[in-house]
Chain A
Amino acid sequence: GAVVSQHPSWVICKSGTSVKIECRSLDFQATTMFWYRQFPKQSLMLMATSNEGSKATYEQGVEKDKFLINHASLTLSTLTVTSAHPEDSSFYICSARSGVPEAFFGQGTRLTVV
């Protein structure tokens, strides 16, 4: 199957700083990528849909100014958590589709804000 790489796998940052998470499709081009957030022992919550060359579409309740998404190329989307606070600590996962019905997921990023 197609490979989606997410980096970093984990990151610890100080409250008030910003953190950037990268999502790359390694062997296919993805015009659309998705960003999810997962709380402990819970399902995935879609945060936003990232479209190459255009603005991301955010789900209701997700602050677009806090979670900046950039999809500058067909193989890279980034999620920047700005002015991070401890409540932003979570597991963030990206996914992409390669022309088949199933989506492929990155390995996730564990963000801890201290």
Chain B
Amino acid sequence: AQSVAQPEDQVNVAEGNPLTVKCTYSVSGNPYLFWYVQYPNRGLQFLLKYITGDNLVKGSYGFEAEFNKSQTSFHLKKPSALVSDSALYFCAVRVYNNAGNMLTFGGGTRLMVKP
């Protein structure tokens, strides 16, 4: 069974500082990894994905994430946080060639960026 853990319920960072939102996963095959962002009363917006290739992937709004196979992690990062980045972030995993094609989500991390 696949699972995703986001160890931090909330991350606080000052505007302009770098941010990291942590994610670790557990799968039995090769993972497809995703980050999504959710604003209040809205659905999820896709940020970025790792499928294969370069371990550092870049996504929307200046976000990037690094795939680390040995640590089974896929942490989300941004060099300089904006107040508008404040939202709920979800990490998700899908196993390659999983016939069910379903995503498994982490519990979510609330990012608070203060001016």
Chain B residues within 8 Å of chain A by Cβ, number: 21
Closest Cβ–Cβ distance, residue B51 to chain A (whole Å): 6
Contacts of B107 in A (CB 8 A): 42-43
Closest Cβ–Cβ distance, residue B89 to chain A (whole Å): 11
Chain A residues within 8 Å of chain B by Cβ, number: 26
Binary contact readout B87-102 vs A (1 if CB under 8 angstroms, 0 otherwise): 0001000100000111
Query: What is the interface of chain A mostly: helix, strand, loop, or mixed?
Result: strand
* A46 CB-CB contact with B under 8 Å: yes
* A67 CB-CB contact with B under 8 Å: no
Q: Which of B20-28, B34-42, B61-69, B72-80 contacts A (4 or more CB under 8 A)?
A: B34-42
Within 8 A of B (CB), among A26-47: 32, 34, 41-44, 46
Contacts of B13 in A (CB 8 A): none
Contact status A43-B44, CB under 8 Å: no
Name the CB-closest residue of A to B110: A41
Say whether, besides A91-B41, A107-B43, A108-B43, A101 and B32 are in contact (CB < 8 Å): yes
What 6 pairs across the A-B complex have the smallest Cβ distances? A105-B43, A105-B44, A107-B43, A108-B43, A43-B107, A43-B105
Residues of A within 8 A of B (CB): 1, 4, 6, 9-10, 32, 34, 41-44, 46, 49, 91, 93, 95, 97, 101-108, 110
